[in-house]
Protein backbone atom coordinates (compact mmCIF):
# COMPACT_ATOMS: atom_id res chain seq x y z
CA UNK A 1 0.00 0.00 0.00
CA UNK A 2 3.05 2.27 0.17
CA UNK A 3 4.68 1.36 -3.16
CA UNK A 4 7.28 3.94 -4.11
CA UNK A 5 6.44 6.32 -1.26
CA UNK A 6 9.50 7.99 0.24
CA UNK A 7 9.75 8.21 4.02
CA UNK A 8 12.53 10.09 5.80
CA UNK A 9 12.76 8.55 9.26
CA UNK A 10 14.39 10.73 11.92
CA UNK A 11 15.52 8.70 14.93
CA UNK A 12 16.26 10.57 18.16
CA UNK A 13 17.79 9.49 21.44
CA UNK A 14 15.29 7.49 23.46
CA UNK A 15 15.05 3.88 24.58
CA UNK A 16 12.12 3.48 22.16
CA UNK A 17 14.58 3.88 19.27
CA UNK A 18 14.82 0.08 19.12
CA UNK A 19 11.21 0.02 17.83
CA UNK A 20 12.27 1.91 14.73
CA UNK A 21 14.00 -1.22 13.45
CA UNK A 22 10.63 -3.00 13.29
CA UNK A 23 9.04 0.12 11.76
CA UNK A 24 11.64 0.21 8.96
CA UNK A 25 11.08 -3.48 8.24
CA UNK A 26 7.30 -3.00 8.00
CA UNK A 27 7.66 0.05 5.77
CA UNK A 28 9.98 -1.80 3.42
CA UNK A 29 7.62 -4.79 3.29
CA UNK A 30 4.88 -2.45 2.06
CA UNK A 31 7.02 -1.02 -0.71
CA UNK A 32 8.12 2.25 0.90
CA UNK A 33 11.58 3.70 0.33
CA UNK A 34 13.11 4.58 3.70
CA UNK A 35 16.03 6.88 4.32
CA UNK A 36 17.23 7.50 7.88
CA UNK A 37 18.62 10.46 9.81
CA UNK A 38 19.77 9.87 13.36
CA UNK A 39 20.98 12.10 16.17
CA UNK A 40 24.16 11.44 18.15
CA UNK A 41 22.03 10.46 21.14
CA UNK A 42 20.17 7.90 19.03
CA UNK A 43 23.45 6.04 18.51
CA UNK A 44 23.40 5.18 22.22
CA UNK A 45 20.40 2.92 21.54
CA UNK A 46 20.66 1.70 17.91
CA UNK A 47 23.55 1.65 15.46
CA UNK A 48 23.77 3.32 12.06
CA UNK A 49 24.66 -0.11 10.63
CA UNK A 50 21.33 -1.57 11.83
CA UNK A 51 19.32 1.26 10.27
CA UNK A 52 21.32 1.08 7.04
CA UNK A 53 20.94 -2.70 6.73
CA UNK A 54 17.16 -2.59 7.17
CA UNK A 55 16.56 0.50 5.04
CA UNK A 56 19.08 -0.58 2.37
CA UNK A 57 20.23 3.03 2.16
CA UNK A 58 22.83 5.33 3.62
CA UNK A 59 22.22 6.71 7.12
CA UNK A 60 22.81 10.44 7.62
CA UNK A 61 23.98 11.84 10.93
CA UNK A 62 26.40 14.75 10.38
CA UNK A 63 25.38 18.30 9.53
CA UNK A 64 28.85 19.30 8.40
CA UNK A 65 29.88 16.20 6.47
CA UNK A 66 31.52 17.38 3.24
CA UNK A 67 30.72 14.06 1.53
CA UNK A 68 27.07 14.00 2.60
CA UNK A 69 26.51 17.65 1.76
CA UNK A 70 27.95 17.05 -1.70
CA UNK A 71 25.87 13.92 -2.35
CA UNK A 72 22.65 14.84 -0.55
CA UNK A 73 22.68 18.25 1.16
CA UNK A 74 20.42 18.76 4.15
CA UNK A 75 18.07 20.96 2.10
CA UNK A 76 17.63 18.24 -0.53
CA UNK A 77 17.41 15.59 2.17
CA UNK A 78 14.57 17.50 3.84
CA UNK A 79 12.55 17.71 0.64
CA UNK A 80 13.34 14.45 -1.12
CA UNK A 81 10.57 12.62 0.74
CA UNK A 82 6.79 12.36 0.79
CA UNK A 83 6.71 12.35 4.60
CA UNK A 84 9.10 13.05 7.47
CA UNK A 85 8.58 10.78 10.49
CA UNK A 86 10.23 11.51 13.85
CA UNK A 87 10.26 8.31 15.91
CA UNK A 88 10.95 8.40 18.72
CA UNK A 89 10.29 12.12 19.15
CA UNK A 90 11.91 13.10 22.42
CA UNK A 91 10.87 16.11 24.49
CA UNK A 92 14.08 17.82 23.39
CA UNK A 93 13.40 17.32 19.68
CA UNK A 94 9.78 18.43 20.03
CA UNK A 95 10.98 21.60 21.77
CA UNK A 96 13.46 22.27 18.97
CA UNK A 97 10.74 21.80 16.36
CA UNK A 98 8.29 24.05 18.21
CA UNK A 99 10.78 26.89 18.55
CA UNK A 100 12.61 26.58 15.24
CA UNK A 101 16.00 25.51 16.57
CA UNK A 102 18.48 23.88 14.20
CA UNK A 103 21.70 22.77 15.89
CA UNK A 104 22.20 19.34 14.34
CA UNK A 105 21.31 17.54 11.13
CA UNK A 106 17.95 16.22 12.36
CA UNK A 107 16.61 19.56 13.60
CA UNK A 108 18.00 21.39 10.56
CA UNK A 109 16.24 18.97 8.21
CA UNK A 110 12.97 19.52 10.08
CA UNK A 111 13.29 23.30 9.90
CA UNK A 112 14.24 23.28 6.22
CA UNK A 113 11.33 21.17 5.01
CA UNK A 114 7.94 22.00 3.54
CA UNK A 115 7.03 18.29 3.50
CA UNK A 116 4.35 16.94 5.91
CA UNK A 117 5.68 15.77 9.28
CA UNK A 118 4.49 13.03 11.63
CA UNK A 119 5.88 12.68 15.16
CA UNK A 120 5.67 9.73 17.57
CA UNK A 121 6.43 11.19 21.03
CA UNK A 122 8.29 9.07 23.58
CA UNK A 123 9.44 10.21 27.02
CA UNK A 124 8.96 9.91 30.77
CA UNK A 125 5.37 10.48 31.87
CA UNK A 126 6.23 13.64 33.83
CA UNK A 127 8.13 15.06 30.88
CA UNK A 128 5.11 14.39 28.63
CA UNK A 129 2.70 16.00 31.11
CA UNK A 130 4.90 19.04 31.78
CA UNK A 131 3.24 22.29 30.62
CA UNK A 132 6.26 23.12 28.44
CA UNK A 133 5.88 19.88 26.46
CA UNK A 134 2.12 20.29 26.16
CA UNK A 135 2.58 23.88 24.94
CA UNK A 136 5.09 22.66 22.37
CA UNK A 137 2.72 19.94 21.19
CA UNK A 138 -0.14 22.41 20.83
CA UNK A 139 2.09 24.70 18.78
CA UNK A 140 3.17 21.85 16.48
CA UNK A 141 -0.41 20.66 15.98
CA UNK A 142 -1.47 24.17 14.98
CA UNK A 143 1.25 24.10 12.31
CA UNK A 144 -0.19 20.90 10.88
CA UNK A 145 2.26 18.41 12.37
CA UNK A 146 0.51 15.03 12.76
CA UNK A 147 0.91 13.07 16.00
CA UNK A 148 0.61 9.36 16.79
CA UNK A 149 0.62 8.35 20.45
CA UNK A 150 2.02 8.34 23.00
CA UNK A 151 0.58 5.22 24.61
CA UNK A 152 0.19 4.56 28.32
CA UNK A 153 2.10 1.76 30.03
CA UNK A 154 5.19 0.78 31.97
CA UNK A 155 8.25 2.93 31.34
CA UNK A 156 11.90 1.93 31.19
CA UNK A 157 12.39 4.31 34.13
CA UNK A 158 9.98 2.25 36.25
CA UNK A 159 7.05 4.68 36.13
CA UNK A 160 3.65 4.12 34.55
CA UNK A 161 1.53 6.45 32.42
CA UNK A 162 1.38 8.17 29.03
CA UNK A 163 4.71 8.56 27.29
CA UNK A 164 5.44 5.20 25.63
CA UNK A 165 6.05 5.50 21.90
CA UNK A 166 3.21 4.11 19.80
CA UNK A 167 3.79 0.60 18.51
CA UNK A 168 5.22 0.21 14.97
CA UNK A 169 1.84 -1.02 13.65
CA UNK A 170 0.11 2.14 14.87
CA UNK A 171 2.85 4.36 13.43
CA UNK A 172 2.60 2.49 10.12
CA UNK A 173 -1.16 3.09 10.03
CA UNK A 174 -0.64 6.80 10.80
CA UNK A 175 1.93 7.01 7.98
CA UNK A 176 -0.51 5.39 5.56
CA UNK A 177 -3.27 7.83 6.58
CA UNK A 178 -0.94 10.79 6.23
CA UNK A 179 0.10 9.65 2.76
CA UNK A 180 -3.49 9.03 1.74
CA UNK A 181 -3.03 5.31 1.16
CA UNK A 182 -5.22 4.03 3.99
CA UNK A 183 -8.98 3.74 4.06
CA UNK A 184 -10.07 5.69 7.14
CA UNK A 185 -13.63 5.57 8.49
CA UNK A 186 -14.53 8.62 6.38
CA UNK A 187 -12.92 7.39 3.14
CA UNK A 188 -15.21 8.20 0.24
CA UNK A 189 -17.03 10.91 2.19
CA UNK A 190 -17.09 14.56 1.08
CA UNK A 191 -16.99 17.17 3.84
CA UNK A 192 -17.37 20.96 3.93
CA UNK A 193 -15.93 22.99 6.82
CA UNK A 194 -16.17 26.75 7.34
CA UNK A 195 -13.66 28.55 9.56
CA UNK A 196 -12.45 31.93 10.76
CA UNK A 197 -14.18 35.33 10.73
CA UNK A 198 -15.63 37.24 7.83
CA UNK A 199 -14.61 40.81 6.97
CA UNK A 200 -17.43 43.12 5.92
CA UNK A 201 -16.04 46.29 4.26
CA UNK A 202 -16.94 49.76 5.49
CA UNK A 203 -14.61 51.42 3.00
CA UNK A 204 -11.41 50.27 1.23
CA UNK A 205 -9.41 50.28 4.50
CA UNK A 206 -11.92 49.47 7.25
CA UNK A 207 -14.19 46.53 7.91
CA UNK A 208 -16.51 44.90 10.46
CA UNK A 209 -15.14 41.64 11.88
CA UNK A 210 -14.84 39.56 15.05
CA UNK A 211 -12.09 37.94 17.12
CA UNK A 212 -12.23 34.43 15.61
CA UNK A 213 -8.75 33.02 14.89
CA UNK A 214 -9.88 30.01 12.83
CA UNK A 215 -7.95 27.61 15.07
CA UNK A 216 -10.98 25.44 15.83
CA UNK A 217 -12.33 25.29 12.29
CA UNK A 218 -8.93 24.51 10.78
CA UNK A 219 -8.34 21.79 13.39
CA UNK A 220 -11.71 20.22 12.49
CA UNK A 221 -10.81 20.20 8.80
CA UNK A 222 -7.47 18.52 9.58
CA UNK A 223 -9.09 15.92 11.86
CA UNK A 224 -11.72 14.98 9.25
CA UNK A 225 -9.04 14.68 6.55
CA UNK A 226 -7.00 12.43 8.85
CA UNK A 227 -9.99 10.05 8.95
CA UNK A 228 -9.96 9.79 5.16
CA UNK A 229 -12.55 12.41 4.17
CA UNK A 230 -12.23 14.62 1.10
CA UNK A 231 -12.40 18.02 2.81
CA UNK A 232 -13.09 21.48 1.43
CA UNK A 233 -12.25 24.25 3.92
CA UNK A 234 -13.88 27.62 3.23
CA UNK A 235 -12.10 30.11 5.43
CA UNK A 236 -12.27 33.80 6.17
CA UNK A 237 -9.06 35.82 6.69
CA UNK A 238 -6.85 33.99 9.21
CA UNK A 239 -3.16 33.47 9.93
CA UNK A 240 -3.54 29.70 10.47
CA UNK A 241 -1.53 27.41 8.17
CA UNK A 242 -3.54 25.44 5.62
CA UNK A 243 -4.19 21.90 6.92
CA UNK A 244 -2.38 19.21 4.97
CA UNK A 245 -4.49 17.26 2.50
CA UNK A 246 -7.35 19.76 2.55
CA UNK A 247 -8.68 21.89 -0.32
CA UNK A 248 -8.70 25.46 1.00
CA UNK A 249 -10.94 28.19 -0.42
CA UNK A 250 -10.12 31.64 1.05
CA UNK A 251 -12.94 34.22 1.19
CA UNK A 252 -13.54 37.64 2.72
CA UNK A 253 -17.22 38.39 3.29
CA UNK A 254 -20.24 36.36 4.40
CA UNK A 255 -21.68 36.52 0.89
CA UNK A 256 -18.38 35.22 -0.52
CA UNK A 257 -18.44 32.39 2.03
CA UNK A 258 -21.99 31.37 1.11
CA UNK A 259 -21.11 31.33 -2.59
CA UNK A 260 -18.06 29.14 -1.91
CA UNK A 261 -20.10 26.76 0.26
CA UNK A 262 -22.74 26.35 -2.43
CA UNK A 263 -20.01 25.67 -4.99
CA UNK A 264 -18.65 22.87 -2.77
CA UNK A 265 -21.96 20.98 -2.67
CA UNK A 266 -22.95 18.20 -2.64
CA UNK A 267 -21.25 16.94 0.50
CA UNK A 268 -22.09 14.29 3.09
CA UNK A 269 -21.51 16.57 6.06
CA UNK A 270 -21.01 20.29 6.61
CA UNK A 271 -19.45 21.74 9.75
CA UNK A 272 -20.11 25.47 10.02
CA UNK A 273 -17.45 26.55 12.51
CA UNK A 274 -16.88 30.04 11.04
CA UNK A 275 -17.86 33.10 13.08
CA UNK A 276 -19.80 34.82 10.31
CA UNK A 277 -20.62 38.49 10.79
CA UNK A 278 -24.38 38.90 11.22
CA UNK A 279 -24.42 42.32 9.57
CA UNK A 280 -22.61 44.25 6.87
CA UNK A 281 -22.65 47.89 5.85
CA UNK A 282 -25.56 48.24 3.41
CA UNK A 283 -23.47 50.35 1.05
CA UNK A 284 -19.73 50.39 1.62
CA UNK A 285 -17.85 53.53 0.58
CA UNK A 286 -15.75 53.45 -2.58
CA UNK A 287 -13.14 55.74 -0.99
CA UNK A 288 -11.77 56.03 2.54
CA UNK A 289 -14.20 57.84 4.83
CA UNK A 290 -12.69 61.07 6.19
CA UNK A 291 -13.44 62.88 9.43
CA UNK A 292 -15.89 65.72 8.94
CA UNK A 293 -14.60 69.23 9.80
CA UNK A 294 -17.50 69.74 12.21
CA UNK A 295 -16.68 66.50 14.05
CA UNK A 296 -19.88 64.70 13.08
CA UNK A 297 -19.53 60.91 12.85
CA UNK A 298 -20.69 59.13 9.70
CA UNK A 299 -23.86 57.07 9.94
CA UNK A 300 -23.48 53.42 8.98
CA UNK A 301 -26.63 51.67 7.82
CA UNK A 302 -26.40 47.93 8.40
CA UNK A 303 -27.94 45.13 6.38
CA UNK A 304 -28.36 41.54 7.53
CA UNK A 305 -25.92 39.02 6.07
CA UNK A 306 -27.09 35.70 4.61
CA UNK A 307 -27.49 32.92 7.19
CA UNK A 308 -25.11 30.25 5.93
CA UNK A 309 -25.99 27.59 8.49
CA UNK A 310 -29.74 27.97 7.92
CA UNK A 311 -29.31 28.07 4.15
CA UNK A 312 -27.29 24.85 4.03
CA UNK A 313 -29.65 23.18 6.56
CA UNK A 314 -32.79 23.92 4.54
CA UNK A 315 -34.48 20.85 3.01
CA UNK A 316 -33.48 20.17 -0.57
CA UNK A 317 -31.59 17.78 -2.82
CA UNK A 318 -28.18 19.21 -1.85
CA UNK A 319 -28.75 19.28 1.93
CA UNK A 320 -25.88 17.39 3.62
CA UNK A 321 -26.86 14.25 5.49
CA UNK A 322 -25.36 15.78 8.64
CA UNK A 323 -25.38 19.52 9.35
CA UNK A 324 -23.23 20.71 12.26
CA UNK A 325 -23.29 24.30 13.50
CA UNK A 326 -21.47 26.21 16.21
CA UNK A 327 -23.06 28.45 18.83
CA UNK A 328 -20.54 30.97 20.16
CA UNK A 329 -22.24 32.59 23.15
CA UNK A 330 -21.29 34.87 26.03
CA UNK A 331 -24.23 34.06 28.34
CA UNK A 332 -26.95 31.41 28.73
CA UNK A 333 -24.81 29.26 26.44
CA UNK A 334 -26.88 26.06 26.42
CA UNK A 335 -30.27 27.80 26.24
CA UNK A 336 -29.17 29.91 23.28
CA UNK A 337 -27.65 26.84 21.60
CA UNK A 338 -30.90 24.88 21.93
CA UNK A 339 -32.80 27.76 20.39
CA UNK A 340 -30.26 28.10 17.57
CA UNK A 341 -30.44 24.41 16.68
CA UNK A 342 -34.24 24.64 16.40
CA UNK A 343 -34.21 27.89 14.40
CA UNK A 344 -31.49 26.92 11.95
CA UNK A 345 -32.73 23.41 11.24
CA UNK A 346 -29.31 21.82 11.69
CA UNK A 347 -28.73 18.37 13.18
CA UNK A 348 -26.02 19.17 15.74
CA UNK A 349 -24.86 22.29 17.52
CA UNK A 350 -21.48 22.64 19.21
CA UNK A 351 -21.97 25.24 21.94
CA UNK A 352 -19.07 27.14 23.49
CA UNK A 353 -18.55 30.14 25.74
CA UNK A 354 -16.62 32.90 23.95
CA UNK A 355 -16.82 35.51 26.69
CA UNK A 356 -13.62 37.36 27.51
CA UNK A 357 -13.00 35.27 30.62
CA UNK A 358 -13.19 31.98 28.67
CA UNK A 359 -10.26 32.85 26.38
CA UNK A 360 -11.77 30.81 23.55
CA UNK A 361 -11.32 33.35 20.73
CA UNK A 362 -7.65 33.25 19.81
CA UNK A 363 -6.84 30.70 22.52
CA UNK A 364 -5.72 27.09 22.22
CA UNK A 365 -8.36 25.48 24.44
CA UNK A 366 -12.11 25.12 24.20
CA UNK A 367 -14.89 23.82 26.43
CA UNK A 368 -17.89 22.70 24.42
CA UNK A 369 -21.25 20.99 24.74
CA UNK A 370 -22.51 18.91 21.83
CA UNK A 371 -26.26 19.15 21.29
CA UNK A 372 -27.82 16.47 19.08
CA UNK A 373 -31.27 15.02 18.57
CA UNK A 374 -30.39 12.41 21.21
CA UNK A 375 -29.41 14.82 23.98
CA UNK A 376 -26.57 16.99 25.23
CA UNK A 377 -22.96 16.03 25.96
CA UNK A 378 -20.75 18.29 28.04
CA UNK A 379 -17.12 17.72 27.10
CA UNK A 380 -14.26 18.55 29.49
CA UNK A 381 -11.87 21.42 28.71
CA UNK A 382 -9.72 20.25 25.80
CA UNK A 383 -7.13 21.56 23.39
CA UNK A 384 -8.88 22.66 20.20
CA UNK A 385 -7.12 19.87 18.33
CA UNK A 386 -8.58 17.33 20.76
CA UNK A 387 -12.05 18.90 20.38
CA UNK A 388 -11.67 18.53 16.61
CA UNK A 389 -10.55 14.91 16.82
CA UNK A 390 -13.42 13.99 19.14
CA UNK A 391 -15.95 15.71 16.89
CA UNK A 392 -14.49 14.01 13.80
CA UNK A 393 -14.80 10.59 15.44
CA UNK A 394 -18.42 11.28 16.38
CA UNK A 395 -19.16 12.29 12.78
CA UNK A 396 -17.52 9.11 11.47
CA UNK A 397 -19.51 6.95 13.89
CA UNK A 398 -22.75 8.65 12.87
CA UNK A 399 -22.24 8.53 9.10
CA UNK A 400 -20.75 5.06 8.92
CA UNK A 401 -18.91 3.73 5.85
CA UNK A 402 -19.52 5.43 2.51
CA UNK A 403 -22.03 3.57 0.34
What are the binding residues for CTP?
A: 278, 288, 306-309, 326, 340, 344
Distant-in-sequence, close-in-space partners of 216: CB < 8 Å, separation ≥ 6: 195, 273, 326, 366, 384, 387, 388
Q: Which helix (H) or strand (E) holds 69?
A: helix 66-72
- As a residue count, the chain comes to 403
DSSP assigned state of 206: E
> β-strand 59-60 against 83-89: which pairing, if any?
unpaired
DSSP assignment letter at 7: E
Phi/psi at 10 (5° precision): -105, 115
- Alpha-carbon gap, residue 8 to 43, rounded angstroms: 17
Classify residue 189 as exposed, middle or buried by CB count within 10 Å of its CB (0-12, 13-18, 19+): buried
261 labelled catalytic: no
Backbone angles phi, psi at 78, to 5 degrees: -70, -20
Active site residues: 157
Amino acid sequence: MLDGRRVLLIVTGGIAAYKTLELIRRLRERGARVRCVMTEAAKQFVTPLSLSALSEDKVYDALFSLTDEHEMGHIELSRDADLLVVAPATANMLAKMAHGLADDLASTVLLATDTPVLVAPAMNVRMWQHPATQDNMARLRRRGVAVVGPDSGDMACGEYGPGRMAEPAAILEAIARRLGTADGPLAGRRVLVTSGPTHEPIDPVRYIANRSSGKQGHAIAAALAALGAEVTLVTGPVTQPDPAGVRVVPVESARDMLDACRAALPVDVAVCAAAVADWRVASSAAQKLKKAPDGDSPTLTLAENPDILATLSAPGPDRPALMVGFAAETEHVIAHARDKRARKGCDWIVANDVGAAAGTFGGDANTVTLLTGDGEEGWPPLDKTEVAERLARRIAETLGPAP
